[in-house]
Amino acid sequence: MLVGSVPVGGAAPIAVQSMTTTDTRDVEATLAQIGRLADAGCEIVRVAIPRAEVLESFRAICAGSPLPVVADVHFDHRLAIEAARRGAAKLRINPGNIGSLDRFDAALEAAGEAGIPVRIGVNAGSLAPEVQDRDWDLAEKLVASAVAFCEHAESRGFTDIVVSAKASSVRATVDAYRRLSGLVPYALHLGVTEAGTLLGGAVKSSVGMGILLDQGIGDTLRVSLTADPVEEIGVAWSILAALDLRRHGPELVSCPTCGRCEVDLIPIAEEVSRRLAGVRTPIKVAVMGCIVNGPGESRDADIGVAAGRGVGLIFAKGEVVRKVPEGEIVDALFEEIARLEAAL
């Protein structure tokens, strides 16, 4: 399927998504945030449609966005219908909170007319009414809800579907997607809801999505963090890179430092990490604080430093190219990175 121009599902690369946190009425701020998300590597962006008064802004956002825009609708199917008419590249609906199956049908019909897919987005917080009070575990309820809604859409002739079944419990989320992947033929949108703050949420998302992606489950993902959404993109790409599925920009390996380290490595590694955000070439950079693993990892990287007492040995493509004082390590690394990029 296509979300705007982005293929999702089948053999397509796993697409990275986020969601704006700006007020949807504020077109300028929302487009600015979408621009920052796109720069960070976001490929599909979702925007909330909480009320009818945001619909005209939504039209302008769709028109101005460099990324396909998904309309996120809850409770009121008319908002979904109107968003489909204003340029949404996909609708995200949770049929469990849209009021009735008739209203879900009306939204599907609008999507069909606009030629756009629909994400059936089931959440632990809003399951299908008929499964809500069953004596099942949460994963079973999520799966049963998702399958029932997919079957309903199919019965209406609508099959341009992406499915999600998220919970804030990683275990329930993983179990639900594992079962879903065997039950529905549709692309799966991965996520752990309400994962938490930046670091804790990154861990929960990485554990959950890592397990699923490692088993070949998942076609697009969104990392949910209570943080600047640009952080969500960084975490999403780090998950994909960790599994060698996709890579966006450089990789940094850096050692944890220990009683063996004779330079102040943490600020060096953090500064390298920050400056690498501006590098798009998919190189591997190693920042190592001692001679145990330092030379090995540095040689294995495209550019690396193995630091010793107050100095750094700079490696490029496996060879020592310079020895610099501690204070010049970061600049020297980026000079070598620039040289490498220029030679590509």
217 binds a copy of itself (CB under 8 A): no
Number of residues in contact with a copy of itself under rule CB under 8 A: 84
Nearest CB to a copy of itself, comparing residues 39 and 214: 214
Please, what is the minimum distance in Å from the beta carbon of residue 260 to a copy of itself?
Answer: 5
Residues from 97 through 126 that contact a copy of itself (CB under 8 A): 97, 123-126
Taking CA atoms, 141 is separated from 39, 135, 186, 220, in Å, by 38, 9, 19, 22
Residues from 187 through 206 that contact a copy of itself (CB under 8 A): 193-204, 206
* Both tokens assigned to 131: 């499964």
Residues from 146 through 165 that contact a copy of itself (CB under 8 A): none
Nearest CB to a copy of itself, comparing residues 43 and 231: 231
Phi, psi at residue 272, to the nearest 5°?
-60, -45
Task: Sort strands 303-308 and 44-48 into parallel, antiparallel or unpaired.
Answer: unpaired
The rounded distance, in Å, linking the Cα atoms of 47 and 23 is 9
* Both tokens assigned to 193: 């809801």
Please, what is the minimum distance in Å from the beta carbon of residue 23 to a copy of itself?
Answer: 6
Please give the torsion angle defined by the CA atoms of residues 211, 215, 220 and 223, in that order, rounded to the nearest 10 degrees.
0
Q: Burial level of 51, CB count in 10 A (0-12/13-18/19+)?
A: exposed
Please, what is the minimum distance in Å from the beta carbon of residue 151 to a copy of itself?
Answer: 24
Dump the DSSP string for 146-189. Answer: HHHHHHHHHHTT---EEEEEE-S-HHHHHHHHHHHHHH--SEEE
50 binds a copy of itself (CB under 8 A): yes
Contact 19, 48 (CB under 8 A): yes
Q: What is the identity of the amino acid at 167?
A: A
Residues from 265 through 294 that contact a copy of itself (CB under 8 A): 265-266, 269-270, 273, 286-288, 292-293
Nearest CB to a copy of itself, comparing residues 145 and 254: 254
- Answer for which of 146, 147, 163, 235 binds a copy of itself (CB under 8 A) is 235
Give the total residue count for the chain.
Answer: 344
Please, what is the minimum distance in Å from the beta carbon of residue 50 to a copy of itself?
Answer: 5
Please, what is the minimum distance in Å from the beta carbon of residue 68 to a copy of itself?
Answer: 17
- Answer for which of 243, 280, 338, 341 binds a copy of itself (CB under 8 A) is 243
Options 34-42, 112-120, 209-217, 328-336: segment touching a copy of itself (CB under 8 A):
209-217
Options 1-9, 40-48, 108-116, 311-319: segment touching a copy of itself (CB under 8 A):
40-48
174 binds a copy of itself (CB under 8 A): yes
